[in-house]
Structure 1
């Protein structure tokens, strides 16, 4: 379990995200409002959910293309929302707020448009290093020029040109 003790240094953004994704609901299995969580926990949740809520604002207001955020952060937005949803919905119920409405919208959009769909639409390509081709780890790619000057050691001083 990650420590949220104030006597320790604060969690990094990555650690805070890992906490929200993998530990938050284990530490707090009972539904409670977000503001009822301990201060240290709220701080970590706010850092993560607030970031994704801000991304959602940029998308909803057309400042950033939806595809840009969904292609790289869509899965995380959905998973973050799923982790914080019970706390947010209870907070909204108790306080009649719209806490992290943009995060919720971003999660909805992510569920409608998986990153693979965006990647296919953009016709993204894989890059395979020439070394992988030379060593026969992947089939030859006509776009990769053959390695001419290197010799491969076969054994006991024998060499042969690369395939």
Structure 2
């Protein structure tokens, strides 16, 4: 074989390896950047979660709202304090859902972290939301439909999902440590 042919084959192979390596690292970097965005959004939204008032309102919505108020008047018929708790809690979770819809937050991450709370809030407010939809004349029911979808996803996520995710993370970290 001619030395110029060998030289061309070797340089072409090196160029191909360089391009493939560059593509792999670019894809990996984009994935890391996307996850970094998800983490900062989650941290910002979860800051509210540390508030005592948030937890008081959350407990109120989940345990007392339906017991103390008839959903017949919808959300609009709730008295001021009940309506404030409803809006603060429901729209908190609606914010997560909106970010997931627009791809700014990984819905599986969010649902994994907030699964039980999302489902309990939806169960508590569902009669009020459905009645509000009727009062608004919404046949398809668009009022809080994104939150409803989030609650459906949360309910479908198996309870062992968090445990499985943690086990997978431990396995991945163990493999990384072994590679060092």
Gaps of 5+ in 2: 1-51, 171-180
Distance 1:114 1:96 in 2: 35
Q: State the SS of the aligned residue for 1:110.
A: helix
- Against the structure 1 CA distance between its residues 38 and 72, is the aligned structure 2 distance closer, same or farther, given a 3 Å change threshold? same
Residues 1:105 and 2:146 aligned together = no
Tell me the residue number matched to 2:12. Answer: none
Q: State the SS of the aligned residue for 2:105.
A: coil
How many residue pairs get aligned? The number is 116
How far the C-alpha of 1:35 sits from its partner, in A, is 0.3
Residues 1:57 and 2:101 aligned together = no
Structure holding more strand per residue: 1
**Counterpart contact for 1:53–1:101, Cα < 8 Å:** no
Structure holding more helix per residue: 2
**Counterpart contact for 1:54–1:102, Cα < 8 Å:** no
Q: State the SS of the aligned residue for 1:43.
A: helix
TM-score (norm 1): 0.64
Distance 2:101 2:166 in 1: 21
Residues 1:87 and 2:131 aligned together = no
Corresponding residue to 1:24 among 44, 50, 65: 65
Gaps of 5+ in 1: 1-10, 127-163
TM-score (norm 2): 0.58
